[in-house]
Each structure stands twice: as structure tokens, then as C-alpha cells.
Amino acid sequence: MATANDVAAYIVKRLGRTTTMQLQKLLYYSQGWHLAWDGVPLFDDRIEAWANGPVVYSVFDRHRGRFVVDEWPHGDPDTLTDSERETVDAILDGYGSFDARELVYRTHQEPPWRNARGDLPETARSNAEISLDDMAEYFSALDSRQPIGE
């Protein structure tokens, strides 16, 4: 199984320069859709429901204080299996053109992030974990005929 840093390395390798916030949301969507399509997590790293949307802390800890990244030496993109690459490729094709602001907006509308935060205001700090079960349920329930990102 890949780590979140391996997936981040793959995303940065494919996209090139990207904002750290966009990277975080693409990791979240990769995890959610992989749960829906393959029935197993893409990576074991915890995803937290921060004020600006989902954050994988193990990746955040590596880019803390940076706004953009154009390389990710903290993971190995070649460790992803064909199935894992297919998931991430589909996510990048579907969500990769959205800027960080649009991705934050989208994640704020979705039950996994909202459920993890409970009654907290959107701008309140939180490190509550987003449940893999909530992610699997939400992404599996989406109409698979709808293009990703629409």
C-alpha cells in the first residue's frame, strides 16, 4: 500500500507546480474515490477536517510554511500499483484543473468533512479525523455516471 507521501509525489510529478492546499484536497479525493472504486484505502495516513478542508497531516508536516510545491522528495511515486495510479489519474483528470479555493468550497459541501467537524463553525480549528467509512459511503453513493468534479 502506498503512503500519502507516495501519492503526493505522484500528484506533483504529474501536475508539476501546485499549491499545497490543492495537493491536500487531491489527496482527499484520491482516498475517497479509491475507497469507492476498490473498496480499500489508498493510504493509511489520517485525514483531518481542518477549517480549510481535508488535510493529511503527514504531508502537511513536510510542506508546512510553503504555499506551493514543484517537487515532492518525501515519497516514491513508483510504489503506486496500477490500480492506485488509475485512481489518482482519474482524480487529476477530474479535479486537477480546479484551484484550491474551488476544491475547499467543494469539500465543505460534502458529508465526510461536515460530519467530522460536527457543530463546529466552518472557520474553527479542528484536527478531527475524517472517517474512512464516511468517505466510502459518500463517494460510493455518488452517481458513477457523473463525471468526477461536476
Paired residues of 47 in beta bridges: 56
Distant-in-sequence, close-in-space partners of 108: CB < 8 Å, separation ≥ 6: 53, 114, 122
Prediction pTM value: 0.95
What pLDDT score does 144 carry?
66
Residues 6-33: pLDDT tens digits? 999 999 999 999 999 999 999 999 999 9
pLDDT category of residue 122 using cuts at 50, 70 and 90: confident
CA–CA–CA angle 56, 59, 60 (5° rounding): 80
Choose between 145 and 40: higher pLDDT.
40
What is the separation of C-alpha 132 from the centre of its chain, rounded to a whole number of angstroms? 12
Identify the pLDDT of residue 145: 52
| Across 112-122, average pLDDT | 95
Amino acid at 41: P
Q: What is the pLDDT of residues 54-113, one digit of tens each?
A: 999 999 999 999 999 999 999 999 999 999 999 999 999 999 999 999 999 999 999 999
148 pLDDT tier (thresholds 50, 70, 90): confident
What pLDDT does 147 receive?
54
DSSP bridge partners of 50: 53
Across residues 24-45, what is the average pLDDT?
A: 97
Grid coordinates given for 116: 467530522
Q: What is the pLDDT of residue 12?
A: 98
pLDDT for position 149: 62
The answer, yes or no, to whether residue 150 has pLDDT greater than 90, is: no
